[in-house]
Each structure stands twice: as structure tokens, then as C-alpha cells.
């Protein structure tokens, strides 16, 4: 295992913990996006560039945007005459 | 359940989980010790058999192309389900209709200048990057899925940077649906080509070409392009449906 792989493993562990510890859903979606990016870098360091690309586009793009849009809809339902 | 019994339950569960976890970890092969035979075999034969420099692409689109077709249709079916679930219900009204009735101007949807400039500046490069990743799927890492999502991201960026109601009027939804359906059908049609060539479904029937060039690896680039179209269409539809929900008021009755 190289130093880079070790550092990224630790960063992914910290990122995953951060996602759980952040309790506000909106902030959580952003932290989850950063976590997705870290996971992508980890896959890249482990010589799996195909998986890394998929992880980056889905984990830090598609997933957070869907969560943010859902949260916006929920906020709108709670305050209908904003 | 009292706090005390919850804590006891947690400690028991954590102890069992910890034991199984450590037990499982102790049985793992050591770091970097790869024991599966298929990866090694594929790494040796991909270049000579399929003239492709991307073993992963050759595996997903050729050696196990049928599985990839199933995965493509999982996404297709999931997006169809979403479109049906999020259709406009009776009793729901879009913002445009509301604005016609009550001409109150809603300003909060305007994107900031920074978002608009950055968004529009990124759209072009993202489209080029997406197409590059799709068509080089058999030469370098990437392929239809990854490139397709990047292409969808470019279109989503347009709706982020522009004014949404204006986007809604010009958005090429029929074209997106056509890309989604056409891409899904394209994969099967290329697969049927193998049958017509007198072999099995998804047999690589096209000339293999010079390794490392765009026109090589037989049918793999065609499959990448059809998956790219399907994925780009599916993700644009998906995000569009979610976006549309922001501009529908009322819970609807049905």
C-alpha cells in the first residue's frame, strides 16, 4: 500500500464520519458530495479509473443534486405561501 | 423503551457485530493478493482478441455485454417509474398558471451573476468532455455511463444558470426522451447484429480495426454511444422531473 492510498483511506473514513455527524440535511448533502469525490479519488489511487469516474459523476453530482431538489420541494410544502 | 434497555441492546448488538467484523476481516486475503482467475485471463487476452486497450470496457461491453444490457434497462425502467410517479396531478398547478392568475412577481428564482457566468462558461467544456469520454470508452477509462452523466450535467447546468421558467419553454424534452429510448433500443439492435452475422446475441461481429484508434474494438464503441445516449437522456429526464416539482404547488388530489 502506498502513502497516497493510506492517506486517502483515512480521509474517506473521516469523510464518512463527517456525513453522519452533520445533522442538517442541506449541509449533509454537500458533505456527502465531498465524500463522494474523496471516494472517487480513493478508487483512482487503487488503479480503478473507470469506477472512479462513475463514482465522481454519481456521488458528487447526481446524488447531491437530487437530495437538494427534494429538500427544496419539502421546504416549499411546509411553507406554501412563501 | 427506556434509555437503559436501549443501551443494553446497543452494547449486545455492537459486541456481536464487532466479533463478526473482526472474524470476517481476519479471513480476508492480504492486501493486493488477487485470487480471481478471470481478471488475469482477461488482462492477457483482451488486446489480441478484441483489439481494445481498455480491458474494463471490453469486459463490460463485450465479454459480459448481456449483464450491461440488463443494467442499462434497470436505469431505463427506474426513470420511467419516476416520470410516472412525478407526473402533474389533478389539483396541482404550475407556477406559470399561477402567475397568470395572480400576477405577483417572484424574484427569488433568479440565479446570481456568479452562478450564471460560471455555469454558462462550463457548459461547452462539459459537453466536449462528455462526448470525449463516451467515444473513447474502448481506448481509455470511461465510457457510455460516465460520459452520459457528464453530458446530462451540462444540460442541468443550463437550468441552474438560466431562469427556470424560460428553460422550461425551450427545453427539448421530446429530444431527450428520444435519446433515452433510442439509446436503450440501440444496445439491443447492435446485439441483434451478432445474430444476423450468424453467431450469438451480442457477438462482436464488426471489424476489429487497429488497437488504440477511434474505429477499433468492433461493436464496443457503438454500444458505448448507445449507452451514453440512454444515460444522458435518463439523467436529464430525472433531474428535469425533480426540477419541475419545485414549480408545482399544492399537494394534488388523486
pLDDT tens profile B126-155: 999 999 999 999 999 988 999 999 999 888
Q: Which residues of B87-111 are buried (b: 16+ CB within 10 A; e: fewer)?
A: eeeeebeebeebeeeeeeeeeeeee
Q: Is B23 domain-assigned?
A: no
B105: left (phi over 0), alpha (psi -120 to 50) or beta: beta
Which residue numbers in chain A have pLDDT < 70? 79-82
User: Could you give the number of structural domains in chain B?
Assistant: 1
Contacts of B149 in chain A (CB under 8 A): 54, 57-58, 61-62
pLDDT of residue B104: 47
Contacts of A65 in chain B (CB under 8 A): 156, 239, 242
* Closest CB to B153 among A52, A53, A61: A61
Place of cell 456568479: B114
Using an 8 Å Cβ cutoff, are B232 and B179 in contact?
A: yes
Residue A32 pairs in a beta bridge with none
- Say how far apart CA A6 and CA A17 lie, in whole Å: 17
The DSSP output letter for B61 is: I
Look up residue B163 and give its three cell numbers: 431562469
Q: Distance (Å) from the C-alpha of residue B5 to the closest C-alpha of chain A?
A: 24
Whether residue B54 is predicted with pLDDT greater than 50 in this model: the reply is: yes
Q: Distance (Å) from the C-alpha of residue A29 to the closest C-alpha of chain B?
A: 16
Q: Provide the CB-side half-sphere exposure for B210 (13 A, CA).
A: 3
Place of cell 444490457: B69
Place of cell 488482462: B43
Q: Is B13 domain-assigned?
A: no
Contacts of A50 in chain B (CB under 8 A): 54, 56-57, 141-143, 146
- Dihedrals phi, psi of B94, to nearest 5 degrees: -80, 160
Contacts of A57 in chain B (CB under 8 A): 146, 149-150, 153
Q: How confident is the model at residue B253 (pLDDT cuts 50, 70, 90)?
A: very low
Predicted TM-score (pTM) of the model is 0.83
Q: Is B116 domain-assigned?
A: yes
Size of interface A-B (CB pairs under 8 A): 51
- Dihedrals phi, psi of B249, to nearest 5 degrees: -110, 160
Q: Is B42 domain-assigned?
A: yes
Look up residue B24 and give its three cell numbers: 470476517
Quick check: A74 contacting B, CB < 8 Å? no
Q: Is B31 domain-assigned?
A: no
- Say how far apart CA B72 and CA A79 lie, in whole Å: 39
- Say how far apart CA B48 and CA B193 lie, in whole Å: 22
Q: Is B27 domain-assigned?
A: no
Q: Is B102 domain-assigned?
A: no
Quick check: B133 contacting A, CB < 8 Å? yes
- DSSP 3-state assignment of B16? helix
Using an 8 Å Cβ cutoff, are B191 and B220 in contact?
A: no
Quick check: B129 contacting A, CB < 8 Å? no
B133:A1 CB<8 A: no
Q: Is B5 domain-assigned?
A: no
Range of the domain at B140: 38-87+112-249
B42 vs B254, more confident: B42
Amino acid at each position: 500500500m502506498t502513502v497516497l492510498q493510506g492517506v486517502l483511506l483515512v480521509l474517506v473514513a473521516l469523510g464518512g464520519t463527517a456525513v453522519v455527524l452533520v445533522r442538517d440535511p442541506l449541509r449533509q448533502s454537500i458533505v456527502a458530495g465531498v465524500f463522494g469525490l474523496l471516494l472517487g479519488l480513493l478508487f483512482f489511487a487503487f488503479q480503478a479509473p473507470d469506477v472512479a469516474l462513475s463514482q465522481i459523476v454519481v456521488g458528487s453530482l447526481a446524488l447531491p443534486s437530487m437530495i437538494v431538489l427534494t429538500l427544496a420541494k419539502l421546504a416549499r410544502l411546509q411553507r406554501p405561501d412563501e | 423503551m427506556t434509555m437503559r434497555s436501549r443501551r443494553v441492546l446497543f452494547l449486545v448488538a455492537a459486541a456481536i457485530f464487532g466479533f463478526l467484523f473482526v472474524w470476517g476481516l481476519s479471513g480476508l486475503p492480504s492486501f493486493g493478493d488477487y485470487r480471481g482467475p478471470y481478471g488475469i485471463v482477461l488482462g492477457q487476452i483482451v488486446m489480441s482478441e478484441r483489439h481494445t486497450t481498455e480491458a474494463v470496457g471490453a469486459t463490460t461491453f463485450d465479454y459480459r455485454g448481456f449483464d450491461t444490457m440488463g443494467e442499462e434497462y434497470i436505469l431505463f425502467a427506474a426513470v420511467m417509474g419516476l416520470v410516472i410517479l412525478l407526473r402533474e396531478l389533478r389539483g396541482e398547478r404550475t407556477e406559470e398558471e399561477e402567475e397568470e392568475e395572480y400576477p405577483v412577481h417572484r424574484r427569488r428564482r433568479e440565479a446570481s451573476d456568479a452562478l450564471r457566468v460560471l455555469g454558462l462558461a462550463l457548459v461547452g467544456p462539459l459537453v466536449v468532455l462528455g462526448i470525449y469520454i463516451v467515444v473513447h470508452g474502448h481506448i481509455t477509462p470511461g465510457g457510455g455511463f460516465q460520459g452520459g452523466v457528464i453530458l446530462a450535467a451540462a444540460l442541468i447546468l443550463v437550468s441552474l444558470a438560466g431562469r427556470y421558467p424560460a428553460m422550461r419553454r425551450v427545453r427539448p424534452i421530446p429530444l431527450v426522451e428520444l435519446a433515452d429510448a433510442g439509446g436503450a433500443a440501440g444496445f439491443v439492435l447492435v446485439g441483434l447484429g451478432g445474430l444476423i452475422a450468424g453467431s450469438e446475441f451480442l457477438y462482436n461481429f464488426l471489424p476489429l480495426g487497429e488497437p488504440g484508434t477511434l474505429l477499433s474494438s468492433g461493436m464496443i464503441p457503438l454500444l458505448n454511444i448507445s449507452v451514453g445516449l440512454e444515460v444522458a437522456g435518463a439523467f436529464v429526464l430525472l433531474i428535469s422531473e425533480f426540477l419541475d416539482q419545485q414549480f408545482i404547488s399544492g399537494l394534488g388530489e388523486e
